[in-house]
Amino acid sequence: MRPPLQSGRLVSRIREEWAATGDNHHHAVRTGQATTGPVIIAAATIMILVFSAFILSGQQAIGEIGIGLAAAVLLDAFLLRTLLVPALMHLTGQANWWLPRWLDRTLPHLSIEPATQPPAPPSPTPAQVTSKAAH
């Protein structure tokens, strides 16, 4: 058992940052890890504590299940999500987002939020217009 959205949240946050900056090797992976890391650690810690409490149930089978689940979450959250996924994404670089052309054409391009437009340049104020006309 693992926190269900945490891995998806980590990768999607890295993807968002990569789409915004185009820098996968440094900025995107670091930002994704920094913003989602505390959430992953907090969720995993809660789950480990809950599963560890199964040991106190007094039933051997339930205690063993609790130890197994706590160990699985510990390895998943602290080793896989905080170490291996960011390291592999850093090493593979642009290949993280490669998709075969035929599959890219087949799959729909969905977005929860609309694409952001670059900010429009500010319109000149009346004082700027009159000072330019004077020159």
| CB contact set of 26 (below 8 Å; sequence gap of 6+) | none
Would residue 114 be called left, alpha or beta, if left means φ above 0 and alpha means ψ between -120 and 50 degrees? beta
Residue pLDDT, tens place only, 102-118: 998 998 877 776 666 55
Contact assessment for residue 25 and residue 93, using Cβ atoms and an 8 Å cutoff: yes
Residue pLDDT, tens place only, 82-105: 899 888 888 888 888 888 999 989
Instruction: Say how many residues make up the chain.
Output: 135
pTM comes to 0.66
